[in-house]
Copies of this chain bind each other. A is one copy, B any other.
Amino acid sequence: MINVSETLRNLDSSLGGNISLINDYRDFFREKINLDKEYGLKLQALSKKHISKAEKTGNSSKFDHVWLEILRENENLGGRFLEYSKKEKHQVNKALKAAVGKLEALRKKQQVFSVQVYHEKDQFFRNCDKLRTIYQTKCLSLDAARQKYEKCPDDKQMPKLKRLWQNEVAFYNNAKNDYFLSIEKANTFLSKLENEGLMGICQIYKNIFEDRNKEVKRIFKKSCELNKDIFEVSKSESVSENIDSMDCTIDINKLYESVKVEISVSITAPLFVSEEKFDDQPGLVLDTRSKTYLVNRLIKDQEIFKAKTKNIEFKQNELEGLFKLLSTYTDNPQLGNIDSVQDVILYV
């Protein structure tokens, strides 16, 4: 058995770890950007001071001309450092901040989703308890009706009491079937969650992690490109090559294996508990009256299922259209904002 809540918590903490790493990158770049800016400002001020001095004292010889040119090159280098730190700020640090913001928003949505899953599970479990109470009540009513009939001193009253007793039998059967089915549903929900649902959630996390990896890779690469504009980096080409060779894909099975928490026994799946005197076994009562009741319930549930399926189909169509839009925007970024489409996708 899989401990769903622990597994979801592991997924969430793994995402948290990823966000925290990006914040480490941001801390480093923030300080580095300040160093670059400080260096640029100081070199510019120093050069300007000496340019104005050289312009005053120089005698327009070739040497003075070259000296002024050296100073202007240094002033220019200071300016290039300022430009570089500005680009780093926008194209590296603000991009990392945006990535963190996006991941935090996704994490919140995933946390809300986890709460919803629990809420749904609780509803199934509460339903079991409610129907068990009805089943217990019906057991008592049935017992009372049977005793009333058996202890009846008056033959005239007997048929009427027998009919009432048989009605109680039907009520008791339906209550037992409802209670049994609620337990089946709760266990099916848990089993689906363990076997398919968690994998689906892993798929969502896989997509988030891959998006995060691609964005970090893009930003690392951008940082390398910016360095090339200002530093002599021919000796550190290997970093750029290693960034190029970074694999952003996540193996979903490895992800699942790394987060899933297995336990020996399910401590949460509900079991059918018979009323003491009745010694009922789990299973459906299938006499004619009970069958009719079950058929009617099936028709009702099918209607709910149809409505939900329709809603899912509608949302799937909507998603397909949005993914097409996303892919168009990804190919031609000038057509529209990718992030806003992604937000809508997540909302759907």
Task: Return 14 A-B CB contacts under 8 Å, by A number.
Answer: A21-B64, A21-B67, A27-B50, A31-B46, A32-B43, A32-B46, A32-B74, A35-B39, A62-B246, A66-B220, A69-B242, A70-B223, A229-B232, A231-B231
- Asked if A312 is an interface residue, CB under 8 A from chain B, the answer is no
Q: Return A32 CB to nearest CB of chain B, in Å.
A: 6
Contact of A216 among B21, B53, B63, B65 (CB under 8 A): B63
Q: Return A100 CB to nearest CB of chain B, in Å.
A: 15
Contact of A28 among B20, B46, B63, B65 (CB under 8 A): B46
* Number of residues from A at the complex interface, CB < 8 A: 49
Contacts of A246 in B (CB 8 A): 62-63, 66
Contacts of A62 in B (CB 8 A): 246-247
Contacts of A47 in B (CB 8 A): 28
Are B42 and A239 within 8 A (Cβ)?
A: no
Contacts of A231 in B (CB 8 A): 77, 230-232
- Asked if A213 is an interface residue, CB under 8 A from chain B, the answer is yes
Contact of A236 among B42, B63, B76 (CB under 8 A): B76
Q: Return A80 CB to nearest CB of chain B, in Å.
A: 9
Contacts of A38 in B (CB 8 A): 39
Are B243 and A66 within 8 A (Cβ)?
A: yes
- Oligomeric state, in copies: 2
- Asked if A329 is an interface residue, CB under 8 A from chain B, the answer is no
| Bound complex: CA A327 to CA B238 (Å) | 45
Smallest CB-CB separation from A64: which chain B residue?
B21
Contacts of A77 in B (CB 8 A): 231, 236
- What are the interface flags for A53-68 relative to B under an 8 Å C-beta threshold, 1 for contact and 0 otherwise? 1100100001111110
Contacts of A70 in B (CB 8 A): 220, 223, 239
| Bound complex: CA A265 to CA B242 (Å) | 83
Contacts of A73 in B (CB 8 A): 236, 239
Q: Return A246 CB to nearest CB of chain B, in Å.
A: 6
Contacts of A242 in B (CB 8 A): 65-66, 69
Are A35 and B24 within 8 A (Cβ)?
A: no
- What are the interface flags for A207-239 relative to B under an 8 Å C-beta threshold, 1 for contact and 0 otherwise? 000000100100010010000111111001011
Q: Return A237 CB to nearest CB of chain B, in Å.
A: 10
- Asked if A71 is an interface residue, CB under 8 A from chain B, the answer is yes
Smallest CB-CB separation from A212: which chain B residue?
B63
- What are the interface flags for A224-267 relative to B under an 8 Å C-beta threshold, 1 for contact and 0 otherwise? 00001111110010110011001100000000000000000000
- Asked if A189 is an interface residue, CB under 8 A from chain B, the answer is no
Contacts of A66 in B (CB 8 A): 220, 239, 242-243, 246
Name which of A28, A42, A71 has the most chain B CB atoms within 10 A of its CB.
A28
- What are the interface flags for A6-29 relative to B under an 8 Å C-beta threshold, 1 for contact and 0 otherwise? 000000000000001100110110
Smallest CB-CB separation from A28: which chain B residue?
B50
Contacts of A46 in B (CB 8 A): 28, 31-32, 35
| Bound complex: CA A229 to CA B233 (Å) | 9
Smallest CB-CB separation from A224: which chain B residue?
B70
Are A24 and B63 within 8 A (Cβ)?
A: no
| Bound complex: CA A132 to CA B242 (Å) | 96
Are B239 and A232 within 8 A (Cβ)?
A: no
